[in-house]
Structure 1
Amino acid sequence: MSIFSPVKSLLSAALAASVLLGAAQAQTVLRVSAIPDEAPTELQRKFKPLGEYLERKVGMRVEFTPVTDYAASVEALINRKVDMVWFGGFTFVQAKERSKNQITPLVQRAEDEKFKSVFITTSKDINKLDDLRGKTLSFGSESSTSGHLMPRAYLLAAKIDPDADLKRIAFSGAHDATVAAVAGGKVDAGALNISVWEKLVAEKKVNPAVVRVFYTTPGYYDYNWSVRSDMPAELRKKISDAFLALDPSRPEDKVILDLQRASKFIPTKAENYATIEAAAHNAGLLKK
């Protein structure tokens, strides 16, 4: 036996221990992100109590990592920069396709079973979708389900091609920015998430007598919390159980649910988003 064999064995053992220690340390932090469908400060405010709750339930430090745009949220999860993301239905579909079906949706709000978009305006001449012909319209982010994909799908269903039949379309980047663009007269109309609209009205940040809803879409599946499919089953279950245990009858849980604009969380599955996937293909926003 070579005199170096014991040294090699010791080095190999030390290296293996180092790798195992690194893996164990990596598992002590749950890195979370969300599509930037509202202002960064608002996303941080909404997540803080939820993050603290998940830390207690999962037994790991929880870190929120903001991203610059919707596409970045997809890439962050696929490339292991984060472990869990709050996706819209369309961004989930994009992540699922980009990862070759290696993304698993865990839970959604009960409200996400029948989510809706609203079209808003300040113009007295706009009262139905057909009145948008020749007008200017703002969507939210190009990758937004409720701020672009589904509003576009319902426009197409009404035989209105936004790119050909409207004077101009714009992308504000976020739902609250769409409201600001309409209220400020930058565009004739806008399309956004009904939940954000109702929140802004409730907080008196928009006057519904001036900026009004003229069309509300039918319901569709939307947001969910997703993880990579290779996340350990035990951790995945802990996270799901934590969300499902939130109870609005407990004051501390109600604070979290209210910030998430949720009555409760329920399990979800990839099949729920088949309609969104089909709409994305039909609108030319997802390549086959």
Structure 2
Amino acid sequence: MSLLRSMTCAAMLAATMLAPTLAHAEFKLDPRFTDANGDMVADAPSDPAKQLDPDTLIFAYTPVEDPAVYAKVWQEFLDHLAKVTGKKVQFFPVQSNAAQLEAMRAGRLHVAGFNTGSNPIAVACAGFVPFAMMAAKDGAYGYEMEIITYPGSGITKVEDIKGKKMAFTSETSNSGYKAPSALLRTEFKLEPGKDYEPVFSGKHDNSIIGVANKDYPAA
């Protein structure tokens, strides 16, 4: 059973790039982790010898269009983290959700901002312990769905997507697929795979460029 769970976690990590349908499989914490208090996240190792104490803490944010820009955005947080821990803190740009997950699973990544959709996989397979979420200064948080198309696509209202391709980022992404597909289902009765064909570009900017190049009717 332990081997099966480890194989499932490996499949989950691969699913972020190769097999999106596996991302919906039910899974438990990887057997390398314990959860004595039943809070559904990994406990810190009880054996001090198994606890990491790196000289430099590595931080990575979910893959974005321009990692260099986000390095500056996170600088105040990194400075604060360095101050309270007394350690050096380094921002590490990642190119994919799978790379970020695998880095934390391997112990090379210590603090991270995962996208919402990757959180369950990060918790189960990489031992990630969520403790905060991003919000506006007034405490508001959430998503606003925007659908884009190009002139002449034949799409002038949401219902016109029916029978066409719709670009998303990846099936494990909340903002890039889970949330918008749920809104399309509940608000417009449009089922993915039935009423329209979801295709996955990998990143938000890829979807925008794809629409501009007329590779996708909408995104």
Structure-2-length-normalised TM-score: 0.63
Partner of 1:122: 150
Alignment length, in residue pairs?
167
Alpha carbon RMSD of aligned pairs, Å?
2.9
Is the aligned partner of 1:64 residue 2:64?
no
Query: Pick from 169, 191, 194: which aligns with 1:161?
Result: 191
Q: Match of 1:51, as an amino acid? A: L
Q: Match of 2:128, as an amino acid? A: I
Partner of 1:231: none
Q: Match of 2:205, as an amino acid? A: D
Partner of 1:94: 121
Q: Answer yes or no: is the 8 Å Cα contact 1:140–1:148 preserved in 2.
A: yes
Cα 1:127–1:58 shift into 2, 3 Å: farther
Higher relative contact order (CA closer than 8 Å, sequence separation 6+): 1
Q: CA deviation at 1:185?
A: 2.2
Q: Match of 1:76, as an amino acid? A: A
Q: CA deviation at 1:58?
A: 3.3
Query: Pick from 10, 27, 31: which aligns with 2:54?
Result: 27
Runs in 1 of length 4+ with deviation above 4 angstroms?
Answer: none
Q: CA deviation at 1:77?
A: 2.0
Query: Pick from 148, 152, 167: which aligns with 2:177?
Result: 148
Between Structure 1 and Structure 2, which shows a larger proportion of helix residues? 1
The SS at the match of 2:131 is: strand
The SS at the match of 2:208 is: helix
For the pair shown, the structure with the greater C-alpha radius of gyration is 1
Q: Answer yes or no: is the 8 Å Cα contact 1:70–1:144 preserved in 2.
A: no
Return the alpha-carbon distance in structure 1 between the equivalents of residues 194 and 111 of structure 2: 38
Deviations 1:228-264 (A, max 9, x none): xxxxxxxxxxxxxxxxxxxxxxxxxxxxxxxxxxxxx
Partner of 2:214: 185
The SS at the match of 2:193 is: helix
Is the aligned partner of 1:105 residue 2:130?
yes
Q: Match of 2:93, as an amino acid? A: P
Structure 1: segments with no counterpart, 5+ residues = 1-19, 191-288
The SS at the match of 1:81 is: coil
The SS at the match of 1:117 is: coil
Q: Match of 1:85, as an amino acid? A: A
Cα 1:37–1:143 shift into 2, 3 Å: farther
Q: Where do residues 258-273 of structure 1 align in structure 2 (5 Å cutoff)? A: none
* Identity rate, percent: 27
Q: Answer yes or no: is the 8 Å Cα contact 1:71–1:143 preserved in 2.
A: no
Return the alpha-carbon distance in structure 2 between the equivalents of residues 123 and 164 of structure 1: 25
Between Structure 1 and Structure 2, which shows a larger proportion of strand residues? 1
Return the alpha-carbon distance in structure 1 between the equivalents of residues 189 and 213 of structure 2: 28
Q: Match of 1:140, as an amino acid? A: T
Return the alpha-carbon distance in structure 2 between the equivalents of residues 96 and 132 of structure 1: 35
Q: Answer yes or no: is the 8 Å Cα contact 1:35–1:73 preserved in 2.
A: yes
Q: CA deviation at 1:53?
A: 4.1
Return the alpha-carbon distance in structure 1 between the equivalents of residues 72 and 212 of structure 2: 25
